[in-house]
Chain A
Amino acid sequence: MARRLAASEGGRGSRLAILAAAPLLLMLLLFEILPLIVVGLDGLHTDSGWSLGNYAAILASPFQRNAFLLSVELSLATAVLGVVIALPVAVVLRRVPKGVSRALLVYATIGANFTGFPIAFAFIIMFGLAGFFTLLLVHAGWIHGLNIYSLSGLVAVYVYFQFQLGLLLLMPALEAITPDLRDAARVMGASDRVFWLRIGLPILAPALISAFVFLFANAMGTYATAYALVGGNANIVTIRIGELLAGDVFSDPHLADALASLLVIGLAIPIVLEQILLHRRRDG
């Protein structure tokens, strides 16, 4: 209300404001919106004109279908692990001195963005064929060897950044669980277990769902880390798209666009579901 007042006050002011905002809008149009539109349109293009042929080809190919399946499995698993690990850690971080939790969170901001070669190679040093953890565990006689260049290797590396991202997303949400809520529950005779089941988790549910969807999208879109760790050997969607772009594989040039469109659609579904779910909760 008050803001609209400022806007209506000076027509000159708002015209200048549009001028100030114009460069960003132009950039967003040229480097965000148009690329997305082009991908969507090109995905519907085949040599014989407009058709859904590319999509049919993807669905018909077990290779591409498996890429999607593996991407979804990998993302689901690491998103669940990320949230499940981050939640108790976040609860602990609220209890320890402020300086300690702040330091860990600052590092998590960095850690959540350690993707691509830096983190993949660090994991190779630690858990690769001659990695020191691998050797440590082999010496201890617990295992015979680790294969970091595998699906479970990917899961491990993904979880590293996923749980730190989850930590960053969940910490603010935990503010809602105030100490006096726990005190109130204690005075009324509720154990810690009862408190979390009946009060804590229900309060956090929307934040947990949002964090899960965010992590899922993050994992689905991850390219650099998988590329750095296993190169073309990982049959996940982003790697397939990257290969089609780099032209290593002979194929229909528009297949990459169709794959990319499918990836966006696949990500839109959980996001839309989340919005519907959370809005229903808010209204109810």
Chain B
Amino acid sequence: MLDWVVVTFVALVQILPVIAVALNAVATDWAGSILPTGYTWRWVEQLLHDPRFTVAIWHSLVVSFGALVIATCVSVPAVLAAHCYLPRLDRWLAALVILPYAVPGIVLAVGLLRLYAGNYGVVLTGTPWILLLGYVPLGVAFFYVPMKNNLRALPVSEFLEAGRILGASDFAVLRRVVLPCVMPGFVVGIVMNFSLAVSEFVYANLLVGGSYPTLQILMNVLSSGSGHLLSVLITAYFLIVAIATSVLLTVSGRQDRAA
């Protein structure tokens, strides 16, 4: 009984912020009353017709999918190679991928600003490139940790030896056997990297800012104006994250049933 009170309370606490923002997005007026006095699509339409919104969505998608592609191409082969062939490197990698959790993003942002603002002949700040490349170290852990959990359960070296005896190259074994086995971890990595890139504010604000505004930057701009437009924007962001998460759940649910 008490258990359910706790569960209900936690669920309410979790969901209330989302409901509040979504309600405010369609409220005519919500000041001085406990619930909105009326509902309207006006704010939604206004934002949809706002060129700043179209640009921000486009920029966010470019950054998110771009960072996702780069992070995947760079991280996945490295995690596999380190686990299967380079155990010494693997131990270093374990520490390196966790480092961004101990070092705040703002500290790294300071360093990136010093390095890539032209002091050393390279200018990446003010362009989406600093985000596309800078997000890679932040998101490796999302590939490394879940894939490593999958890999640990596999006798990879025995697979490779069995493959050699059967005349299959290591690459074939990795692609046809090992990679499918780490699929669940791989999917977690993809979705989390995507969410990271749409949610990230520190790099976006300090390293790029107005010269390539993303959703998060537009939130900053709108925060000084009508709260309703900001609410619509945040709701849009919630929707994107919700879609990404449901993709993750669908895929991992299918994996569970297959297992």
A and B touch in the complex (CB under 8 A): yes
Q: Which residues of A contact B134 (CB under 8 A)?
A: 31
- Cβ A6 vs Cβ B84 within 8 A: yes
Which listed residue, B24, B108, B234, touches A32 by the CB 8 Å rule? Answer: B108
- Cβ A20 vs Cβ B80 within 8 A: yes
User: Is the CB of A126 closer than 8 A to any CB of chain B?
Assistant: yes
- Cβ B238 vs Cβ A92 within 8 A: no
B230 nearest in chain A by CB position: A121
Which listed residue, A38, A88, A228, A267, touches B111 by the CB 8 Å rule? Answer: A38
- Cβ A34 vs Cβ B115 within 8 A: yes
Q: Beta-carbon contacts of A1-43 to B below 8 Å, as 1s and 0s? A: 0111111011001101110111111011011111111110010
User: Is the CB of A211 closer than 8 A to any CB of chain B?
Assistant: no
Q: Which residues of B contact A271 (CB under 8 A)?
A: 102
User: Is the CB of B227 closer than 8 A to any CB of chain A?
Assistant: yes
Q: Which residues of A contact B15 (CB under 8 A)?
A: 107
Which listed residue, B14, B23, B33, B230, touches A107 by the CB 8 Å rule? Answer: B14
Q: Beta-carbon contacts of B121-153 to A below 8 Å, as 1s and 0s? A: 000000000000110110010000000000000
User: Is the CB of A66 closer than 8 A to any CB of chain B?
Assistant: no
- Cβ A113 vs Cβ B137 within 8 A: no
- Cβ A92 vs Cβ B7 within 8 A: yes
- Cβ B107 vs Cβ A38 within 8 A: no
B57-96 contacts to A (CB < 8 Å)? 73-75, 77-78, 80-87, 89, 93, 96
Pick the interface stretch among A49-57, A129-137, A174-182: A129-137
Which listed residue, B114, B195, B231, touches A38 by the CB 8 Å rule? Answer: B114
Q: Beta-carbon contacts of A90-120 to B below 8 Å, as 1s and 0s? A: 0011011000100010111111011111110
A18 nearest in chain B by CB position: B86
Determine the distance from Cα of A135 to Cα of B37 in the docked complex, in whole angstroms.
14
User: How many residues does chain B have at the interface if contact means C-beta atoms less than 8 Å apart?
Assistant: 90
Q: Which residues of B contact A214 (CB under 8 A)?
A: 101
| A257-B201 contact given A2-B155, A24-B140, A220-B104, CB 8 Å threshold | no
B201 nearest in chain A by CB position: A224
Q: Which residues of A contact B115 (CB under 8 A)?
A: 34-35, 38
Q: Which residues of A contact B101 (CB under 8 A)?
A: 214, 217-218
Which listed residue, B34, B85, B114, B202, touches A42 by the CB 8 Å rule? Answer: B114
Interface secondary structure of A, over-half rule: helix
Interface size class of A (residues with CB under 8 A): 35 or more
| A111-B14 contact given A7-B86, A24-B140, A121-B21, CB 8 Å threshold | yes
- Cβ B86 vs Cβ A17 within 8 A: yes
Distance from B178 Cβ to chain A, minimum over Cβ atoms (Å)? 12
B170 nearest in chain A by CB position: A13
Chain A residues in the interface with B (C-beta under 8 A): 2-7, 9-10, 13-14, 16-18, 20-25, 27-28, 30-39, 42, 88-89, 92-93, 95-96, 100, 104, 106-111, 113-119, 121-126, 130, 132, 135-136, 139, 160, 164, 214, 217-218, 220-224, 227-228, 238, 241-242, 245-246, 256-257, 260-261, 263-264, 267-268, 271
18 pairs, A vs B, C-beta closer than 8 Å: A2-B158, A3-B83, A3-B156, A9-B164, A18-B86, A21-B93, A24-B75, A27-B137, A28-B140, A30-B133, A36-B111, A38-B115, A106-B249, A118-B17, A125-B21, A217-B101, A242-B206, A267-B104
Known: A9-B160, A130-B31. 5 other contacts (CB 8 A): A32-B100, A36-B103, A104-B10, A118-B237, A125-B24
Chain B residues in the interface with A (C-beta under 8 A): 2-4, 6-7, 10-11, 13-18, 20-21, 23-24, 30-35, 73-75, 77-78, 80-87, 89, 93, 96, 99-115, 133-134, 136-137, 140, 155-158, 160-161, 164, 170, 195-196, 199, 201-202, 205-206, 216, 219-220, 223, 227, 230-231, 234, 237-238, 241-242, 245, 249
